[in-house]
Amino acid sequence: MAMDQMHKMKEIKQQVTRFLMMYKFALQELETKVEILKEEFQLLHEYNPIEHTSSRLKSPKSIIEKMFRKQSDLTFTSIRDHIKDIAGLRINCSFISDIYRISDMLQNQSDLKLLAVKDYIKNPKPNGYQSLHLLIEVPVFISDRRENVCVEVQIRTIAMDFWASLEHKIFYKYKHAIPPHLLQELKEAADSAAALDKKMERLHNEIEEIKEESENDLGDEMIRLLMGNQRGSIPTMLLELFEEGQQKK
């Protein structure tokens, strides 16, 4: 009897491991895609919209507790249907515009399927929480089959992430019963973070406009020099540098 129980426990453990393994592979697949997009954007635009990424898998304990709260059957099919954030990927950006840029880039991946969007930036939660949530179905290919696995992607600015991290710590410290004065201060902090994001975005845009104007002025000056070139009055090295720059563009 004891051997049968041990065998059954071992079999259950293997099933759980295999189940969570698919979510782990889905995260790895998505992280690779994000890394490629990040490098491509850096090479083409000399700018990186992604500051930092992190991923996590819910533990079996957390999954079971959430299923009990939902009063759902404790089967793998039920878990897959009722819990959509077993695998989570968080992407931190510098600016709000980057959030939607990254979202568009992911949605343009032909093998990814967008299941749902929750925009807590345009519609913040009552406590002030802001973030863009995407539920994305990722194809995972293993030795004997293909499985489509759901991953929750959270895209937010650094300021939004800092606020969310603090709120999470306070939430669990007070066991979900946060004193009213702290709730008010958290909401005020969220408003301040949102104002900071908007100000930093405006400054970023102004700097980019100045940079673009400077580059255009430099390009015009180079063209004038070339147009006025008579019998090598412009050094050969300058011409070579200009041609090299044009090729890179």
Domain that holds residue 102: 2-177
Task: Pick 227 or 82 by higher pLDDT.
Answer: 82
Please tell me the distance from the alpha carbon of residue 138 to that of residue 30, in angstroms, as a whole number.
7
pLDDT of residue 216: 66
Indicate which residues carry an active-site annotation. Answer: 152
Strands 146-157 and 87-93: parallel
- State pLDDT tens for residues 20-40: 999 999 999 999 999 999 999
In a domain, 13, yes or no: yes
- Name the DSSP letter for residue 126: T
Please tell me the distance from the alpha carbon of residue 48 to that of residue 34, in angstroms, as a whole number.
12
DSSP helix/strand/coil, 89: strand
DSSP helix/strand/coil, 83: coil
pLDDT of residue 73: 86
- 189 pLDDT tier (thresholds 50, 70, 90): very high
In a domain, 113, yes or no: yes
- State pLDDT tens for residues 76-95: 899 999 999 999 999 999 99
Proportion of the chain above pLDDT 90, given as a percent: 51
Residue 231 has pLDDT above 50, yes or no: no
In a domain, 73, yes or no: yes
pLDDT of residue 193: 92
Which token pair is 45? 């635009």
Mean pLDDT to the nearest integer, 124-140: 95
What is the total count of domains within the chain?
1
* Nearest-10 Cα torsion for 62, 117, 124, 201: 120
Q: What is the model's pTM?
A: 0.80
In a domain, 171, yes or no: yes
In a domain, 33, yes or no: yes
Residue 2 has pLDDT above 70, yes or no: no
In a domain, 215, yes or no: no
In a domain, 97, yes or no: yes
Q: To the nearest whole number, what is the mean pLDDT of the chain?
A: 85
List alpha helices for the chain, DSSP H: 2-45, 60-70, 76-82, 96-107, 158-173, 180-227, 236-248
Proportion of the chain above pLDDT 70, given as a percent: 82
In a domain, 48, yes or no: yes
Please tell me the distance from the alpha carbon of residue 81 to that of residue 83, in angstroms, as a whole number.
6
Q: What is the CATH number of the domain that holds 37?
A: 3.30.460.10
